[in-house]
Structure 1
Amino acid sequence: MEGRRFWLRRPMSLGRHVAVVLLVAVLVFGVAAAVLWLAVGAPHLPRGAAFTVTNQLELIKLALAVVAGVGGVVALVVAYRRQAVVEKENERAVAAARRDDTRLFNERFGSSTTQLGHERPAVRAAAVYAVAGLADDAPSQELRQTCVSALCAYLRLPYQPDPSAQGWIAGEDEIRQAIVGSIRAHLAPGPLPSWNGCSFNLRNAVLDVIWLPGIHLTDGTHLNFTGCRVVGGTVDLRGARLTGGRMTFTGLELAAGARFVFDGAVAEGTRIEGDPLPADVAAFLDAAALSD
């Protein structure tokens, strides 16, 4: 059964294709001639009539026209088959290029994310920029999301921000700041490729600061700060343009004295949610509603 299905999928040979087209052309010509003959009253050749030289020349012209038409049909079939072969080869080349791009991406991604777990902070910091660069070069939005998710997953790992406490790791704060800085740089207008359209899952992450001034959120983007604990500073959204997507602040915990900063920010379409909504965020939304 499988062999039969394979045979059905094989392309028709050129000779058979030409024969089929010619047969269809003859049938169409015969039907058209019959309809035309009937339309003019089905005339008959008079008895005893003889073909004159003029009649013979007309027949020769008709025969040559038929031959030329057949040649044109064959030429069209050959051109069609050639074009179909070229398109098929192009499709195969594009598919092969995509496979190569995906394979190269997977190799680079595996190497970069492995370095994120290195014991030396300098190596981990280099891996952050490697993953960010890979996200910029990703051949699809899905693969870009994979890189973004890897960086966000790093921020969700257990983190001790107090140098005097057990579990503190030297240099870890700088690595995390580098990740947040990369997110900010790719969400703000600038020369870097935009990461808008991605989901940033920072649920329950411990962050020194949320430094996102000047970002521009568009549709499809989700900044999820549910359950985050900000231990060292503010949530900086100065000059942000919130025109689409979502921001979630449910259960966000700010250190003593920390607050949101919305100076110059504009909320024009981003869905900002929280249960409960932080007081600074609610005040910003109320002020934005009044300004409208």
Structure 2
Amino acid sequence: MASLDIIASLLGIFVAIAGMTIALYSWRPTGNKNNLHSTTEDARTQTFTLAIDKIGSKSAGDRIAGIKSLAELADSWPYGRQACIDILCAYLRVPTKIGVDISDGSTGQNEALGRGRLEESSVRGSVLRTIAEHLHENASSRWHGCVFDLTGAVLDGGTFSGVAFTGGTKLIFRNAVFGGGTIDFSGSIFKDSVVDFSGATFSGGTVNFSRTEFSGGLIIFRNSSLAGGFIDFSDALFRDGEIDFSGSSFSGGAISFSNSSLSGAKIDFRRAEFAGGMVDFRGVNNFNSPPKFDDFSSGRPNKLFLP
């Protein structure tokens, strides 16, 4: 089965689940009567279903149109917003190997496969941009306080630069795979929110937290694996909140806190395994709230650098 068929099948399951969620949230008592579906709610449900049909299409243009339609619906439909977001995130969790099972190695097939991958990359980029645009403080419609579940997704880039993670927003990358590209959080604000990379694998690319401000909330890298790539906290301001690297493995790549200020946030590296990757706190401006490490009975790891 081609991956687009898998997308359509999986989205069908999500539609059923989301439909029950919408029915629950759409229920209203009106006077002495229970109104399960008003005419407006029925129209919105129909728009929701049509948008998902487009997202399951073999045409990249149709898939992007479906994404736009779902985003517009989420903007105007507070009670169905989380269901719309769940479908957008579900799309990103579906495997990306478009056409691999039908390629016969010929030039024509390989060219078609290449086009398919480029088109799919564009579609996935559209989903990530849509999410990020709605998390800016100046967005006309803000999706703060929602849950964005990208558990197990394979990602090669995305921009959340300048975003405000506030109001209980949860962005979940549990067990996700980052093999290249840049996930950019530079210049963002984290307050009363959760960004969860627990169990994620970093084998290449960059996760950029430079110039971010942490004034509350939780950033979780617990039990993650850094085998390559770069996690950049340079010039970040840690006022409050928690950054949790406990139980993580650093066998390659690097994490830098250069020129950052550790004035209040709690940073936890306990139970972490340092097996070749670099964790660098040199050049930190303020070390009033140092990170927590285990006692290194046999000496500090060679590539763990402290001020």
2:143 maps to 195
SS of the residue corresponding to residue 269 of structure 1 reads strand
2:66 maps to 127
1:113 to 2:52 alignment:
yes
Which structure has more strand as a fraction of its residues?
Answer: 2
1:289 maps to 262
How many Å separate the matches in 1 of 2:183 and 2:98? 17
Asked whether the 8 Å contact 2:145–2:168 carries over to 1, the reply is yes
Q: Percent identity of the aligned residues?
A: 25
| CA drift at 1:98 | 6.7
Which residue identity is paired with 2:202?
A: L
Asked whether the 8 Å contact 2:129–2:158 carries over to 1, the reply is no
Which residue identity is paired with 1:274?
A: F
1:86-101 map, 5 Å: 91-92=30-31, 99-101=38-40
Which residue identity is paired with 1:157?
A: V
1:206 maps to 154
Which residue identity is paired with 1:109?
A: F
SS of the residue corresponding to residue 192 of structure 2 reads coil
Q: Which residue of the other structure, out of 208, 228, 232, is the alignment partner of 2:180?
A: 232
In 2 relative to 1, CA 267–200 (structure 1 residues): closer, same or farther, beyond 3 Å?
A: same
Asked whether the 8 Å contact 1:102–1:139 carries over to 2, the reply is no
1:259 to 2:206 alignment:
yes
1:264-283 map, 5 Å: 264-276=211-223, 280=231
How many Å separate the matches in 1 of 2:78 and 2:207? 36
1:38-117 map, 5 Å: 91-92=30-31, 99-117=38-56
Give unmatched runs, 5+ long, in structure 2: 1-28, 101-109, 237-242, 244-256, 264-285, 289-307
In 2 relative to 1, CA 240–282 (structure 1 residues): closer, same or farther, beyond 3 Å?
A: closer
2:197 maps to 249
SS of the residue corresponding to residue 259 of structure 1 reads strand
How many Å separate the matches in 2 of 1:229 and 1:161? 18
Which residue identity is paired with 1:121?
A: A
Which structure has more helix as a fraction of its residues?
Answer: 1
SS of the residue corresponding to residue 61 of structure 2 reads helix
How many Å separate the matches in 1 of 2:232 and 2:218? 12
How many Å separate the matches in 2 of 1:276 and 1:122? 38
Please, what is the CA RMSD of the aligned residues? 3.1
Give unmatched runs, 5+ long, in structure 1: 1-89
SS of the residue corresponding to residue 187 of structure 1 reads coil
Asked whether the 8 Å contact 2:184–2:209 carries over to 1, the reply is yes
Which residue identity is paired with 1:158?
A: P
Asked whether the 8 Å contact 2:174–2:196 carries over to 1, the reply is yes
| CA drift at 1:165 | 10
Asked whether the 8 Å contact 2:194–2:219 carries over to 1, the reply is yes
Q: Which residue of the other structure, out of 159, 165, 168, is the alignment partner of 1:220?
A: 168
* 1:68-88 deviation line (CA, Å, top 9, x unaligned): xxxxxxxxxxxxxxxxxxxxx
Which residue identity is paired with 1:289?
A: L
In 2 relative to 1, CA 93–176 (structure 1 residues): closer, same or farther, beyond 3 Å?
A: farther
Asked whether the 8 Å contact 1:186–1:195 carries over to 2, the reply is yes
How many Å separate the matches in 1 of 2:150 and 2:113? 21
| CA drift at 1:167 | 6.6
Asked whether the 8 Å contact 1:116–1:128 carries over to 2, the reply is yes
SS of the residue corresponding to residue 148 of structure 2 reads strand
1:151 maps to 88
* 1:193-229 deviation line (CA, Å, top 9, x unaligned): 1111111110111122032111101132111011112
Based on CA coordinates, which of the two structures has the bigger radius of gyration?
Answer: 1
Asked whether the 8 Å contact 1:101–1:139 carries over to 2, the reply is no
SS of the residue corresponding to residue 235 of structure 1 reads strand
Paired residues, what number?
200
In 2 relative to 1, CA 259–123 (structure 1 residues): closer, same or farther, beyond 3 Å?
A: same
User: Which TM-score applies when normalising by structure 2?
Assistant: 0.58
User: Which TM-score applies when normalising by structure 1?
Assistant: 0.60
How many Å separate the matches in 1 of 2:99 and 2:200? 19
2:276 maps to none
Asked whether the 8 Å contact 2:86–2:149 carries over to 1, the reply is yes
How many Å separate the matches in 2 of 1:288 and 1:193? 33
